[in-house]
Amino acid sequence: MFRYLPFVLKNSWRNRRRTTLTIVSISVSLCLLGVLMAIYYAFYFTDATPSQALRLVVRNKISLAVPMPEYYRDKIRQIPGVRDVAVSQWFGGVYKDRRDPKNFFARFAVEPERIIAVRGEMKMPEDQKQAFIHERTACMVGKALAEKQNFHLGDRITLQGDIFAVNLELTVRAIYDAPENNEVLYFNLEYLDQAMGSKRWGQIGTFYVLADSPDSVPRIAKAIDDSYRNSPVQTKTESERQFQLGFLSFLGNVKMILLSICAAVTFTIMLVSANTIAMSVRERVREVGVLKTLGFTRGTILSLILGEAVAIATIGGAVGVLLASGLCGFVRNGPAFSDDIRHLSIQPPVALACLAVAAVIGLISAFIPAWNASRTSIVEALRSTE
Amino acid sequence: MTDNVVIQTSSLTKEFLRDEFHVVALKGVDIEIHKGEFVALMGPSGSGKSTLLHLIAAMDVATGGNIRVLGQDLRALNDRQIARWRNENIGFVFQSFNLIPVLTALENVELPLKLTNLKKQERLDHANTALKLVGLGDRTGHFPRQLSGGQEQRVAIARAIVTDPALILADEPTGNLDAGSAQDILSLLSQLNKEHGKTIVMVTHDPHAARFASKVRYLEKGELLAEGAVPAD
């Protein structure tokens, strides 16, 4: 079949404008498909980092929005295999102007020493660490967040409460660097408690649990949930990775949304491609007759036309993958609701999947025109004047 | 049938429906063409000349009668076998050249050889030889649009002979050419017949072209006239 490759490529390039437009339309669609597949891959196929693999997140079984008693921490700490526990309370609130999405970032009230212990991958100078631990109104921000918001050590940050009816005046005392969750602001839970007085009633949103090994994680999760199975407030414990995906479900059935858009994009481009290929084949029916006269079989003619369509679609797919790679850069730097988006890129399996989809689009869209052309009788084909 | 007979038909009939009309294109044609003959098929439009040529090349299927070409009963072959048989035994020259526009002269001539087991260099050597034979050894890299009508038809003839077929079928090969180019093409076909022993069947309207043939047969309303007979008008 390789001996026909030059012929196939020359035929593909026969009508340059049409071929270019077809490649462009396929590449734009494949670019969108590539980014969607990259997001899907990042969410559902990326393994937990080594530090994530050691962490579990405990929340109220009913919902993440419903708090649970803070004293659960003491019992969780006693479960074999648990190395440390850190409480974490989503603060929400407003920074500067709610209408500007750039001002949205995660803000958590935490126990400084504990969160630094549980999130051991966070790196910062020792003096900054100590300042964050010992100063009640201190806050610690991720390096990426600091760069984005232009935060510097000593800056004052005012957060207007919405879930909690208090305004907090924080001072940046530490800037940490970490491979993930690098756009988070942590501040002292004690400050929130004092600002709220007795209104918080010892309730907390989540516990971050550090296990002694990844193998202990499933057992610890079961042990925690079993401990509170008969309590009025039951818990749901999952790995940090699962928890992040669960957080994503607040947006709806993300998996279904992504797959539906992917299917719609693929189907649409298939129709466009089919129309173009059909046009191209119709113009060359006479040539099909000539090829048959020379001794080409139906099967060879079918293969030639399919090969041509697959070549065009695959080139479009390759361009689309390159475009998608560039677009991922924009998405990475834009406002993100998930840390996975921060590391969005076209991974080799996604690139291969895109190329395979492109090839299949070419194959399917050309099949009917190619089949009909290969079945046309020589006399009928030679009579064609198109 | 002797070994010398290349084409033999008996009661060959071709009927088809065009729109709602029943058309009889060929009516009981009996013809025998021998090895090394150059036969011109003449007759008015719609007389069945091209239909007969298509049946000989197994490009169409007869509705009645028998046809043997180069000793092969064409009805006994399936599609794949016919394609192979055509590639090995038949060279076809069209009125409108029908070269592939995206291929050079050399690549056009090489095309039928891609169906053989020849290696690339062998294919190119054969194609070059065929082009030299038709006098276009210096035009191998030209695309059809860069050639004159006469040169295009020469390339088409080179493509028809490159597999060294025993039988060359030409359907109005000079129909689209000026007088000078037509003369060259007819001389070339005559040379292939006389010097290389190719059996040639040529459909033509042109009495001048027919003079290059060793034998002329006339068709009228689908019927083959007796040898030596000419239409009344």
Residue B233 belongs to some domain of the structure:
no
Calculate how close chain B gets to A17, using CA atoms only, in Å.
15
Backbone angles phi, psi at B230, to 5 degrees: -125, 155
Residue B219 belongs to some domain of the structure:
yes
Examine the pLDDT at B233 and tell me if it is beyond 70.
no
DSSP string, chain B: --TTEEEEEEEEEEEEEETTEEEEEEEEEEEEEETT-EEEEE-STTSSHHHHHHHHTTSS--SEEEEEETTEEGGG--HHHHHHHHHHHEEEE-TT----TTS-HHHHHHGGGGGSS--HHHHHHHHHHHHHHTT-TT-TT--GGGS-HHHHHHHHHHHHHTT--SEEEEESTTTTS-HHHHHHHHHHHHHHHHHH--EEEEE-S-HHHHTTSSEEEEEETTEEPPTT-----
Q: Are residues A119 and A29 in the same domain?
A: no
From A13, A295, A382, residue closest to B83, measured CB to CB: A295
Mean pLDDT of chain B: 92
DSSP β-bridge partners for residue B64: B13
Cβ-defined contact of B57 to A290 (cutoff 8 Å) = no
pLDDT-derived band at A91 (thresholds 50, 70, 90) equals very high
Residue B82 belongs to some domain of the structure:
yes
Cβ-defined contact of A290 to B100 (cutoff 8 Å) = yes
From B84, B103, B120, residue closest to A295, measured CB to CB: B84
Residue B230 belongs to some domain of the structure:
no
pLDDT computed for residue B1 by the predictor: 47
Question: Within 13 A of A155's CA, how many CA atoms are on the CB side?
Answer: 14
Residue B191 belongs to some domain of the structure:
yes
d(CA A114, CA A110): 8
Instruction: Confirm or reject contact between B94 and chain A (CB < 8 A).
Output: yes
B24-83 residues touching A, CB cutoff 8 A: 54, 57, 59-60, 79-80, 83
pLDDT tens, position by position, B103-142: 999 999 999 999 999 999 999 999 999 999 999 999 999 9
Q: Are residues A307 and A376 in the same domain?
A: yes
Q: Are residues A38 and A87 in the same domain?
A: no
pLDDT computed for residue B103 by the predictor: 95
Residue A227 belongs to some domain of the structure:
yes
Range of the domain at A226: 62-233
Q: How many domains does chain B have?
A: 1
pLDDT tens, position by position, A34-58: 999 998 888 888 777 888 889 999 9
A76-88 residues labelled b (16+ CB within 10 A) or e (exposed): beebeebbbbbbb
Distance of CA A176 to the CA centre of its chain: 24
d(CA B199, CA B110): 22
Handedness of CA B145, B150, B156, B158 (dihedral sign): negative
Range of the domain at B68: 5-224
pLDDT computed for residue A284 by the predictor: 87
pLDDT computed for residue B106 by the predictor: 97
pLDDT-derived band at A63 (thresholds 50, 70, 90) equals confident
Residue A52 belongs to some domain of the structure:
no
d(CA A353, CA A360): 10
Neighbours of A100 (CB within 10 A): 10
Q: Are residues A165 and A313 in the same domain?
A: no
Residue A247 belongs to some domain of the structure:
no
pLDDT tens, position by position, A254-310: 888 888 988 998 898 888 888 888 888 888 899 999 999 999 999 999 999 999 999
Examine the pLDDT at A200 and tell me if it is beyond 70.
no
pLDDT computed for residue A104 by the predictor: 86
Percent of chain A with pLDDT over 90: 62
Q: How many domains does chain A have?
A: 2
pLDDT tens, position by position, B164-192: 999 999 999 998 899 999 999 999 999 99
Mean pLDDT of chain A: 90
Kindly state the tokens that stand for A198: 């007795």
d(CA A377, CA B2): 32
Residue B11 belongs to some domain of the structure:
yes
Residue B129 belongs to some domain of the structure:
yes
pLDDT computed for residue A362 by the predictor: 92
Percent of chain B with pLDDT over 70: 98
Q: Are residues A76 and A220 in the same domain?
A: yes
pLDDT computed for residue A385 by the predictor: 65
Cβ-defined contact of B59 to A378 (cutoff 8 Å) = yes
Examine the pLDDT at A101 and tell me if it is beyond 80.
no
Q: Are residues A212 and A93 in the same domain?
A: yes
Which positions in chain B touch A379 (Cβ < 8 Å)?
Answer: 54, 59-60
Residue A379 belongs to some domain of the structure:
yes
Q: Show which of A179, A199, A233 is a domain's final residue.
A: A233
Pick the residue of A1, A16, A287, A290 with the most B CBs within 10 A to test the interface with B by mutation. Answer: A290
Q: Are residues A258 and A355 in the same domain?
A: yes
Judge whether B179 and B149 are in contact, CB under 8 Å.
no
Cβ-defined contact of A293 to B86 (cutoff 8 Å) = yes
Q: Are residues A41 and A73 in the same domain?
A: no
Kindly state the tokens that stand for B132: 């030299």
B151-170 residues touching A, CB cutoff 8 A: 159
Backbone angles phi, psi at A331, to 5 degrees: -60, -40
SS3 for chain A is CHHHHHHHHHHHCCCHHHHHHHHHHHHHHHHHHHHHHHHHHHHHCCCCCCCHHHEEEEEECCCCCCCEECCHHHHHHCCCCEEEEEEEEECCCEECCCCCHHHCCEEEEECHHHHHHHCCCCECCHHHHHHHHHCCCEEEEEHHHHHHHCCCCCCEEEEECCCCCCEEEEEEEEEEECCCCCCEEEEEHHHHHHHHCCCCCCEECEEEEEECCHHHHHHHHHHHHHHCCCCCCCEEEEEHHHHHHHHHHHHCCHHHHHHHHHHHHHHHHHHHHHHHHHHHHHCCHHHHHHHHHHCCCHHHHHHHHHHHHHHHHHHHHHHHHHHHHHHHHHHHHCCCCCHHHHCCCCCHHHHHHHHHHHHHHHHHHHHHHHHHHHHCCHHHHHHCCC
Residue A240 belongs to some domain of the structure:
no
Q: Are residues A222 and A269 in the same domain?
A: no
CATH number of the CATH domain containing B72: 3.40.50.300
pLDDT computed for residue A335 by the predictor: 63
Neighbours of A227 (CB within 10 A): 17
From B83, B98, B102, residue closest to A14, measured CB to CB: B102
Residue A245 belongs to some domain of the structure:
no
* Lowest-confidence region among A99-103, A106-110, A210-214, A352-356: A99-103
Examine the pLDDT at A136 and tell me if it is beyond 90.
yes
Q: Quote the ipTM score.
A: 0.92
Q: Are residues A294 and A331 in the same domain?
A: yes
Examine the pLDDT at A318 and tell me if it is beyond 50.
yes
Q: Are residues A137 and A114 in the same domain?
A: yes
Examine the pLDDT at A157 and tell me if it is beyond 50.
yes
Kindly state the tokens that stand for B188: 């070339």
Q: Are residues A94 and A139 in the same domain?
A: yes
